[in-house]
């Protein structure tokens, strides 16, 4: 299990996401940003917009995805 924060994934806060692989953490970040947006948290809006854009344009966002997976792999096990 490894840990990445909202900030590590391009967000504005230090909420930690834990997962066995990068995909679990990316999905947790997506849920976190969606919940923040629904709660009216404007500080997360820019990150939420970027995440929505990545899901809509997967080919263009593969660089972010590969970088995130590589960053996850470099992390120590928690």
Mean pLDDT across 5-16: 96
Domain-wise residue ranges, the chain: 2-60
Average pLDDT value for the chain: 93
Asked whether residue 7 carries a pLDDT value surpassing 90, the answer given is: yes
**pTM metric for this prediction:** 0.88
In the DSSP assignment, the letter for residue 41 is -
Inter-helix orientation angle 45-56/22-38, to 10°: 130
Asked whether residue 60 carries a pLDDT value surpassing 80, the answer given is: no
Q: How far apart are CA 27 and CA 12, in angstroms?
A: 17
């Amino acid at each position: 299990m490894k840990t990445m924060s909202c900030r590590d994934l391009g967000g504005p806060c230090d909420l930690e996401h834990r997962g066995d692989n990068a995909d679990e953490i990316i999905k947790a970040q997506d849920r976190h940003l969606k919940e923040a947006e629904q709660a009216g948290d404007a500080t997360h809006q820019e990150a939420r917009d970027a995440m929505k854009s990545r899901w809509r344009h997967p080919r263009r966002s593969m660089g972010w995805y590969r970088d995130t997976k590589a960053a996850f792999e470099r992390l120590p096990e928690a």
